[in-house]
Chains A and B, each alone.
Chain A
Amino acid sequence: MRRHASSGAQPNLSRAFSHRLGSHEFQAPLLERGAFTTLHHLWQNLPTRGNMTNYIVQRLLYAAVTFWLLSVVVFLIIQLPPGDFLTSYVARLEQQGDVIDRAEIEALRQEYGLDASSVEQYFRWFGRFLQGEMGRSFEWNQPVAKLLKERLPYTILLSLITLFFTYVIAVPIGIYVATHQYGFNDYLFSVIGFAGLATPNFMLALILMFLFFKYFGISVGGLFSSEYALAPWSLAKVWDLFIHLWVPIIVIGTAGTAGIIRVMRGTLLDELSKQYVITARAKGVAEGKLLFRYPVRMAINPIVSTIGWQLPRIVSGETIVAIVLSLPTTGPLLFRALISQDMFLAGSIVMFLGVLTLIGTFLSDILLIVVDPRIRFERKA
């Protein structure tokens, strides 16, 4: 079990790791070795090839199982609404006063195998999905794949940028507040942190929109200004995107940032009170060098190990924020699809968002064995 068998909740990580770090098998040799750089240390401790391959294969297998579970859940979602999607399709056509071609409906029924058993339908759907055929959106009257191609890139872009900013901002602040414990800024960030954790994403989006509307008279929303929305890509359009991007980034990222600051602060404080730090200080290691070379590197591990958990949270937040801020991402698409029971579209979106976080988790697992060689030791033992 790689991930903290002893504790599940994120804030408990510090404890899980500190007890693991409690044995001094790592710290002592580090201090005795004279001049070595972080990179050199990493290189030396890279897991041996066989071990690493084993680990990656195991993780891949787990990811495959998760992917399969995801497909079952998504299929259930598609099947959940009463009636099948064709009945709602027919109902909608009737509502619009369209003439319904019985033969066409029958053909569709045949094509999607709606008369077959659920298990058979599942395999048919899953097989098609793997081939990239995700069915048709009845509301948009377009293939689902095409709709996703338009929107998914923005979701990925926004999620990755938010993830990046979350860490770039949270880790330095975490280090700062841990080294300035009980200072003004420590309290300030604690307050902001608690507020950030407690404010629902959509509420924060609303408040920001309200403030911008009230004090600057501009409406924030969307990812582009109206003149660029349909324009072909150009430098000006990229700049426009850049200007619009930061409001959603703040809204989506605040909760995650607050969480990471708290974990970073807690773990680093645990580390700073350990004996190896006192030893190093007694030996006359410069404060800055001491801080960044040992405790910070120790404290950053639980942060790295939870990148995989951060991503689902960001994607999750992105969905609802996108609806409030009307961003051209998958969020509003999913919402509309669910309201109109356009289940192939809705199911495919949930599937893709799941796959996105699955890949993120897999990568963070790999990253963790690069950053934390102890995982190799643990596996050997």
Chain B
Amino acid sequence: MSTEATTGASSRVETRAAEITAEERYFLASQWQLMWRKFKRHRLAVFSTTLLALLYFFAVTYEFWVPYGRLTKHEDFLSAPPSRLHFFDHEGRFHGPFVYRLEGEIDFKTFTRVYTEDPSQIFRILFFQKGEPYRFWGLFSLDIHFFVPEEGGVVFLWGTDSLGRDLFSRTWAGARVSLSVGLVGVLISFILGCLLGGISGYFGGTTDLLIQRVIEFVIIVPTIPLWMALSAAVPPGWSPVKIYFSITIILSIIGWAGLARVVRGKLLELRESDFVIAAKVAGSTDMQIIVEHLLPGFMSYLIVHLTLAIPNMILGETALSFLGLGIRAPAVSWGTLLKDAQNVRSVAVQPWMLIPGLLVIVTVILFNFIGDGLRDAADPYK
């Protein structure tokens, strides 16, 4: 009986010890650890982060995942609808994923191409097989694709455009441009915003007033007309890489203002706080105060702001390229792909041309969800 009592007591002690350590861990956790804990609780944000990471992964390594090159034309399959994947043939035999032979003919009543499946011939989808050669990142020559149809067959998961180019391959090629424009653009506005916002908040006085007016100006001016005007000035003869960077810079010319405002506001707020004064009294240098005390203080807010600024950049790029003022052919972005869907009639006949737009929407929503989660986590002491 006495032993029973002892074990009971000891287990109670053990659980209390566990509780204390959990509590202690909470108090000892750094700001970033606390933020991570809070962020993890936002299920939607965590899910969105995973999905977005996957999206970026596919965009970075797209050449491997798609069956065709972004410029490869299939002259016999102009404006073909998305291929139907089958697993069982009409006799019910299992073949794994396969497509039937596609036959296209012109309907002379409507002058559109009509495609029918010919069930007599099947082409299996092969995985990790040799296909069209490509240069991965422009560095190594490879020809292994995640999936390719059997010799002689074609597979267009998302259909083809009016020149017979595979939309699935092109959309993922476009993802690389569209998704990276946001990141590069945000990086540039991050540097500009931190610099100008920092100067504004640190020096104060006339400099502050001046920079504040510039920020106000940038926020007040309607962005799209300004973007259009600036990007129309990009010389048409420039190389795709040059055009890409000029468009990104144009997008971030507007983007920095909001960030600079956040930096300045936070700097002013934190500059007067007790812990900064304490650090000063303790003999820290200005640089130490900025790097060790101020920067961690508003870094979290900056990250939130950046996360929410990326989708704006992506939308901006899409809009500009859609108008033909942004990324230009032969470079591919989601905007240039949507440019082909500009005409209502073409959308009515080939609704699959809107798929890149769907990806834009998904990406922007994902970024917004992550931003929401980060915003809740940004101030873990609340």
Binding site for B on A (CB under 8 A): 1, 4-9, 11-12, 62, 65-66, 69-70, 73, 77, 80-82, 194-195, 197-203, 206-207, 209-210, 213-214, 219, 308-309, 312-313, 315-317, 319-320, 323-324, 334-335, 338-339, 341, 346-347, 349-350, 353-354, 357-358, 361
Residue of B at shortest CB range from A341?
A: B232
Known: A323-B323, A338-B228. A6 touches B269 (CB 8 A): yes
Alpha-carbon separation in the docked complex, A4 to B228 (Å): 30
30 A-B residue pairings within 8 Å (CB atoms): A1-B212, A5-B268, A7-B265, A9-B262, A65-B217, A66-B213, A77-B229, A198-B311, A198-B361, A200-B322, A206-B347, A209-B344, A209-B347, A210-B344, A210-B348, A312-B220, A312-B223, A315-B225, A316-B222, A316-B223, A316-B224, A319-B224, A320-B322, A339-B324, A341-B232, A346-B229, A346-B232, A349-B225, A350-B221, A353-B221
- Distance to closest chain A CB from B255 (angstroms): 12
A contact residues around B342 at 8 Å (CB)? 206, 324
Question: With A8-B265, A308-B220 known to touch, is A319 a contact of B361 (CB < 8 Å)?
Answer: no
Complex CA gap A354/B311 in Å reads 24
With the chains together, A200 CA to B230 CA distance in Å? 20
Residue of B nearest to A347 (CB): B229
Encoded as 1 (CB less than 8 Å from any A CB) or 0, chain B from 291 to 313 comes to 00000000001001100100100
Pairs of residues from A and B, 9 with the lowest C-beta to C-beta distance, nearest first:
A8-B261, A80-B233, A198-B364, A338-B232, A316-B222, A316-B224, A315-B222, A8-B262, A5-B265
Contact A354 B220 (CB under 8 A): yes
Alpha-carbon gap, A202 to B342, bound state (A): 9
In chain B, positions 205-221 with a C-beta closer than 8 Å to chain A are 212-214, 216-217, 219-221
Interface residues of B (CB under 8 A from A): 212-214, 216-217, 219-226, 228-230, 232-233, 235, 258-259, 261-262, 264-266, 268-269, 301, 304-305, 308, 311, 315, 318-319, 322-325, 338, 341-342, 344-345, 347-348, 351, 354, 357, 360-362, 364-365, 368-369, 375
- A316 and B225: CB pair below 8 A? yes
Chain B nearest CB, measured from A90 CB (Å): 19
Looking at the assembled complex, report how far the CB atom of A246 sits from the nearest CB atom of chain B, in whole angstroms.
18
- Whole-angstrom distance from the CB of B87 to the nearest CB of chain A? 31
Residues of A within 8 A of B213 (CB): 62, 65-66, 69
- Known interface pairs A62-B213, A213-B345, A312-B219; 20 further A-B residue pairs with C-beta atoms within 8 A, sorted by A's residue number: A5-B268, A8-B258, A8-B265, A9-B262, A66-B220, A80-B229, A80-B230, A197-B368, A206-B344, A209-B347, A313-B222, A313-B223, A317-B224, A320-B319, A334-B228, A335-B323, A338-B229, A353-B222, A354-B220, A357-B221
**Contact indicator A77/B233 (Cβ below 8 Å):** yes
Known A73-B226, A203-B357, A319-B225; contact A5-B220, beta-carbon cutoff 8 A = no
Specify which chain A residues have a CB less than 8 angstroms from the CB of B357 in the assembled complex. 199-200, 203, 206
A194 touches B365 (CB 8 A): yes
Contact B225 A357 (CB under 8 A): no
Nearest-CB distance from B24 to chain A (Å)?
Answer: 30
Alpha-carbon distance A12/B259, docked complex (angstroms): 13
A320, B323: Cβ atoms under 8 Å? Answer: yes
Q: Which residue of A lies closest to B320 (CB)?
A: A320
State the Cβ distance, B159 to closest chain A Cβ, in Å.
16
Q: How far is B320's CA from A335's CA once the two chains are assembled, in angstroms?
A: 11
Contact A206 B228 (CB under 8 A): no
Residues on B with C-beta less than 8 A from A6 are 265-266, 269
Contact yes or no, A354 B222, CB < 8 A = yes
Q: Is A201 within 8 A of B265, CB to CB?
A: no
| Bound complex: CA A6 to CA B213 (Å) | 17
Expressed in whole angstroms, the minimum distance between the Cβ of A374 and any Cβ of chain B is 18
CB-contact partner of B221 in A62, A73, A308, under 8 A: A73
* Residues of B contacting A323 in the complex (Cβ-Cβ under 8 angstroms): 323
Q: Which of B220, B338, B354 contacts A361, CB < 8 Å?
A: B220
